[in-house]
Structure formats: C-alpha cells, structure tokens
Amino acid sequence: MPPNRYQQQEHCPSYYAATANDLSRYPMLNGARKVDVCVVGAGFSGIATALTLAERGYKVAVVEANRVGWGASGRNGGQLIGGISGESTLIAHHGEQVADAVWAMRWRGHDIIHERVSKYDIQCDLKSGYMDVAIKPRHMRAMEQEYAELQRRKFPHPCRLVEKHQMSEVLGTDAYIGGLINHYNGHLHPLNLCKGEAAAAVSLGAEIFEQSPVLDIQHGSTPRVITATGHVDADAVVLAGNAYHALERGKLSGLVFPAGSFIVATEPLDEDFARQINPLDLAVCDPNYVLDYFRLSADRRLLFGGRCNYSGREPRDITASIVPRMLKILPQLKGKRIDYAWGGNIGIVINRVPAMGRISSNVFYTQGYSGHGVNFTHVAGEIMADAVGGTLEQLDLFEKVRHHRFPLGQALGSQLVALGMLYYRLRDWL
Ligand SMILES: Cc1cc2nc3c(=O)[nH]c(=O)nc-3n(C[C@H](O)[C@H](O)[C@H](O)COP(=O)(O)OP(=O)(O)OC[C@H]3O[C@@H](n4cnc5c(N)ncnc54)[C@H](O)[C@@H]3O)c2cc1C
C-alpha cells in the first residue's frame, strides 16, 4: 500500500464552518465496495457530479480525504457569478460557432443551483444581486460591452449599468467609477450549499466516505480507487480533487496550480450600518487579476476577500494582510472586530480554461476554474455525468483546448506562475 501523503483535516476555522447547518459526518471507507461511478473529492465538482449521477439512477460513491466541502467549495467568497474562466480562449480555439453554446453554459450553473436549492430545500442564504465594479475607464468600457451583449441576447434577468454619479445609491464607497449590476448573479453560503447537495445525493442512494484520502487509482476495465483502509471498484471514476489533489501525476502534473486567496469576516453589523455600506445586499467584485471581493453574510457580517499567493501557504496573519485592503475600500469599517479569517487554494490554469478530460476511457477529471467555480463546478458535474454516460460533446469542447504545463514540477511551476501574476498585477496598476 502506498504511504498516506495526506493528513486528514477538519474544516478550517471559517465563518462558514461556524455557521454550517448540517453537522452530519460520513464514515471512513473500510473494506471493499462496488459501484457504477466512484468520485474522488467532495467539493462542488465532486458533489455536483455525484448528485447529477444519482438523479440519473447511477450507484455512486464519493471518497473524500477530509470532509464534504473542506476545500475551496466550503471556504470561498460565496459569489455566484456567471461565466467560465478562459471563455475567450475557449471560443478562440473552436471558433464563433461555439459562442451560443458557451453563452448557455455561462448561466447553466445558476439554473442548476437554483433548481437544487428549491428541489431539495437547501438552506444556503441564496440571494440575488451582484455587481462588477470598475476602477478604471477601460473596466467601464468592458462592462458597457457586457451589458450590450446581455441586451443583444435578451438576457431575461434584470441588469443595470451604474454611472459614477449613481454609485452612492448602490455602494457606500467612492473607490469605484461605476459598474454593472446583474440580478441573476448573487451570493450564497457555499459550505451549506455543498453539504445540502451532498445530503441530497445521499437521499438518492449515493454513499459518501470522509477522512479517506485516495492514495492511488488502478486503471483497467473496472478501475480501483484505493485508500489506506479500503477500495472502491467502479465502471468509471471521476477525479474532482482540484487544487488539492496529487493523484495521476503523470497525466495531470503541472496542469493546475494552487493559489491562496484569503477572507475575513467582521462582527455582525447593525442594520443601518450595513445598509449604508451595501444597501442592495450585492456581492461585489473588482475586475483586477489580483482582485478584491466582498459581500454581506446573512447575519450582516462584511466578508471581504482578496490577495493571492502562489506558494499554497497561508500568510502568518491573514487579518493583518486583508484588513488594510478592506479599509481602503470601506474605511467606515475601521474599528469593527474581525471574527473570522481564513484562506483556501484556488486551482489556477495557465490559459484559464477549466482543465477537463479523460486519463483513460473510464477515468475522467475536472479541475482548474481559476477562482470562478461556484457556478461552473455545477456545469462540470453535468459534463462529467454526461461523459460517464457516453455523451462527450461538451467534454470535447474543453478537452480539445491545449493546456500549457510546467514540466519542472510544482515548486518551480508556482514560482513561474507567481512571476506571470506579477505581470498581471502590473497590468492592474496601469
Ligand atoms: C478563498 C477562495 C475564494 C473563492 N471565491 C469564489 C467566489 O466567490 N466565487 C466563485 O465562483 N469561486 C470562488 N472560488 C473558487 C471556487 O471555490 C472553486 O473553483 C470551487 O470551489 C472548486 O471546487 P472543487 O470541488 O473543484 O474543489 P474543492 O472544493 O477544492 O474540492 C476538492 C476536494 O477534493 C478533496 N481531495 C483532494 N485530493 C483528494 C484525494 N487524494 N482523495 C480524496 N479526496 C481528495 C479535497 O479534500 C477537497 O475536499 C474561491 C476559492 C477560494 C479558495
């Protein structure tokens, strides 16, 4: 048996873990199992795949190293934003004939999440309303183009461009020169969504095993997923470990790099104060490559996130690193207590197109949403379930895009990505 490279962990001390409304735990994998599909990783990608498959009648097992939603899915900014990272590269690769399909995919994750929240009664504070904010005139021009495209395509949900002189009506900051509000985008409690979807999959017969790091996959007509205490034989395997997994180094090494992103949550703000900061209760995100994002939680804490590093390590003091950025945008928060500070790893892909494909005819993978995964992981779940069933059209769209790798291994690769990001940070400043 290969050595256990993983140390099984509980949830990080985030606001989400402290307010999780389902404290169920699932057992470790012990002994042998046989299922139709084994999914590795219980973040949004893995759970959305498992739930879609369970809805279609497959017998599914999910094997998770830590806990359901332990990774990026249970720690993120909770911003539900349409679009796919690397969308323009995807269209440039295939040509304009895929533009309509890509546009539909942009919003498909929202449809799935809304359907599931309502069908399975998932309490995850799902709210409508999101704003892309502009710092520079070129950002505003890009948003005007996006707005024109929404109109051209008769986008059925309310959207509005906000000019500089209207900004004080929508946000209590003068850091921005305008923006675009989209009410199909929004925000949610990601850990409660992930756990709710996991419970829905279990209600349909799926099995989940936690604290069970997968150590190896034996390929063959019935691939075997191996942990320290058991194994699952399956007709197909879906790898959904994203920035956190170290499996299949031969085929997947160098495709995705972990980039740290960090969030603080203030004490609950009183209603009037919260209304001054964010009267429309919007999720807000700036357009920089190294971006800042914020929103209010259901109990009116300001959740502010940003800063990236490429070492995969946490800064010594997340609060000290994030709060100055928060106060630059929202100085009225000075003196407010910080109750939670945490971070997680985003799976970054060099060309930004999600890395999805096959390692062999019956082992699939999906990973690398470059910080844009709440929505798209749910689309990925559907693409994986289709692929398992033999429908490969959408998987092909992604698998055929050429990805760049760093052949020199992750340590040096991360340094190169860091250099690349320095370039993008310089571009943000210009
Ligand atoms: C701080 C932060 C803020 C973000 N904010 C946003 C946002 O506001 N909006 C947005 O759209 N996106 C955001 N993202 C990105 C988004 O969270 C991710 O794209 C998405 O959650 C990825 O989901 P996933 O299931 O692929 O990966 P993860 O959620 O990371 O799940 C992978 C799982 O696989 C498990 N695993 C790994 N290896 C093994 C193994 N060998 N055996 C068993 N299990 C294994 C891990 O334990 C983990 O639970 C953010 C990410 C971070 C880190």
346 lines ligand 1 (CB under 6 A): yes
Ligand 1 atom with least separation from CA of 45: 25
247 lines ligand 1 (CB under 6 A): yes
pLDDT of residue 248: 85
Place of tokens 């599931």: 116
pLDDT confidence bin for 348, thresholds 50/70/90? confident
- 113 phi, psi to nearest 5 deg: -60, -45
Place of tokens 């007709």: 235
CA of 430 to the centre of ligand 1 (A): 31
- What average pLDDT score do residues 179-186 get? 98
- What average pLDDT score do residues 365-372 get? 93
CA of 43 to the centre of ligand 1 (A): 6
pLDDT of residue 326: 97
pLDDT of residue 420: 61
Enter the tokens of residue 217.
């996959």
Q: Considering just the CA atoms, what is the radius of gyration of the chain in Å?
A: 21
264 lines ligand 1 (CB under 6 A): no
pLDDT over threshold 50, residue 3: no
Task: Decide the pairing of beta strands 293-296 and 283-285.
Answer: antiparallel
**Amino acid, res. 198:** A
pLDDT confidence bin for 1, thresholds 50/70/90? very low
Ligand 1, atom 16: closest residue by C-alpha: 373
372 lines ligand 1 (CB under 6 A): yes
Residue 117, CA atoms < 13 Å, CB-side half-sphere: 18
Instruction: Give the Cα separation of 15 and 263 in Å (integer).
Output: 10
- The alpha helices in 154-291, defined as continuous H runs, are 167-170, 190-203, 249-252, 271-277
pLDDT confidence bin for 7, thresholds 50/70/90? confident
Residue 38, CA atoms < 13 Å, CB-side half-sphere: 29
pLDDT over threshold 80, residue 427: no
Q: Name the residue with higher pLDDT: 253 or 234.
A: 234
- The alpha helices in 123-257, defined as continuous H runs, are 137-152, 167-170, 190-203, 249-252
pLDDT 10s digits, 95-151: 999 999 999 999 999 999 999 999 999 999 999 999 999 999 999 999 999 999 999
Ligand 1 atom with least separation from CA of 81: 11
Going through 252-301 in order, the beta strands assigned E by DSSP cover 256-266, 283-285, 293-296
pLDDT over threshold 50, residue 164: yes
130 lines ligand 1 (CB under 6 A): no
| Probe target for ligand 1 pocket from 49, 84, 208, 346, with the most ligand atoms within 8 Å of CB | 346
Place of tokens 């109990």: 299
- What average pLDDT score do residues 376-395 get? 98
pLDDT confidence bin for 6, thresholds 50/70/90? low
pLDDT of residue 97: 95
- 362 phi, psi to nearest 5 deg: -125, 15
Instruction: Give the Cα separation of 62 and 114 in Å (integer).
Output: 23
369 lines ligand 1 (CB under 6 A): yes
pLDDT of residue 246: 81
pLDDT over threshold 70, residue 426: no
| Probe target for ligand 1 pocket from 45, 68, 76, with the most ligand atoms within 8 Å of CB | 76
| Probe target for ligand 1 pocket from 73, 212, 348, with the most ligand atoms within 8 Å of CB | 73
Q: Among 364, 366, 346, which residue's Cα sits nearest to residue 356?
A: 366
**What would you measure as the largest C-alpha separation in the chain, in angstroms?**
65
- What average pLDDT score do residues 242-269 get? 88
- 285 phi, psi to nearest 5 deg: -145, 135
Provide the residue count of the chain.
430
Instruction: Give the Cα separation of 298 and 396 in Å (integer).
Output: 39
pLDDT over threshold 50, residue 2: no
Q: Is the dihedral of CA 379, 381, 384, 389 positive or negative?
A: negative
Ligand 1, atom 9: closest residue by C-alpha: 79
294 lines ligand 1 (CB under 6 A): no
pLDDT confidence bin for 411, thresholds 50/70/90? low
By the 10 Å C-beta count (0-12 exposed, 13-18 middle, 19+ buried), 273 is classed as: middle
CA 36 from centre of chain: 26
pLDDT 10s digits, 70-82: 999 999 999 999 9
DSSP secondary structure code for residue 59 in this structure: -
- 261 phi, psi to nearest 5 deg: -130, 145
Q: Name the residue with higher pLDDT: 63 or 417.
A: 63
**Amino acid, res. 364:** F
Count the Cβ atoms, other than its own, within 10 Å of residue 70: 26
Place of tokens 């979807």: 197
pLDDT confidence bin for 256, thresholds 50/70/90? confident
CA of 34 to the centre of ligand 1 (A): 26
pLDDT 10s digits, 297-338: 999 999 999 876 766 567 889 999 999 999 999 999 999 999
pLDDT of residue 399: 95
Ligand 1, atom 18: closest residue by C-alpha: 373
Q: Among 148, 139, 133, 135, which residue's Cα sits nearest to residue 179?
A: 133
CA of 365 to the centre of ligand 1 (A): 14
Enter the tokens of residue 316.
């010594």
Ligand 1 atom with least separation from CA of 43: 25
